[in-house]
Structure 1
């Protein structure tokens, strides 16, 4: 296993990704999007163990950093970064994988991964490579509810900034159902940071709208799901194994 390659997809210090490439034939590309309620104090170090684990399982993995609230991020800059990072990872993947292009994200990263599954509907991001699958790990999938419940001490409202009501159509995964690609919402009922109902409501609404959406219930709270030694992460691996 070789060291990852650092790729800058923009000029800002937060616009980079680490591309991990397997030794043999790649199973496809997984874009790992870290969480932290879109806040500046949380970075790509949370995604690094997952990318390392995935490359050992034969996936090309891109661990993405992006501008967060407080350092140039928020709506729509953070969305611009995720779109650009997916494009950069797909272009610079030396395996040239013709297989799956998966976004896997935790917490706020789950929001960004689900959003990325719908992003090409909008003119601003229409030219980006479309995803084939989404895996949300304890994701914020109902942005309007997150604002109403003041999740993360008002983090969702801080992410939206002064964009106002029109931003929900472009930024809220629940407003974008049905997705054109399958989504798995992997979430622990004992999560005390992002409520389990975020996943349950999304999947119920999406399936009623005809989407391919699956709720995968795990245990381990909010962070067990990003621990490569945990059963919750094993559940994510099982989802990926079903893809490619």
Structure 2
């Protein structure tokens, strides 16, 4: 007899939960996270509000699951780029990872904004979503483990070294992706890349580059190359 996830009842429940999430994503695609309404989703699916609450206890519960899914989707895009360029130089791989994340965000701006912004003024993402976010950053640690810290980043590296020493879970995460590296250097490089990547992607998704005469992908390549130079990563910039 089927049990657990294999029961018809559980399969039906999973199907309905997925339909609710798809309806929520469609809603956010037109109105952003602020437009998310469980009652509106229920009407779209021909359900009553109380029936929908059997699947998600609150709007925040639904948002949390969508955020987890978005991180997982972004992480998958980054992992695919990591696998495709595994034989390349660290510099080439860094460009590929950054480009893959940008392409994911541009194709799914409503998902990107779930991760980069605040879905609602009262929403607080639970601590467990940190693990989903770290899965996106992990491949960057692997590549930046090949780099060196440069003088301007030493202050950041020192802060991160102290943080890692008192945060075992974070130290274990860095070690999983960069076991032979100086952990603080790899993490400092990753945070710098992440900050610059988000700066460019956020502006692009908001349409702030429209009419400025350049492609966001070109600007991103310049920023990545600058970091690769600073960290003395081997290899050359891939052709545009």
Where relative contact order (Cα < 8 A, 6+ residues apart) is larger, the structure is: 2
Q: Same fold (TM over 0.5)?
A: no
More helix by share: 2
Please give the TM-score of this superposition, normalised by the length of structure 1: 0.30
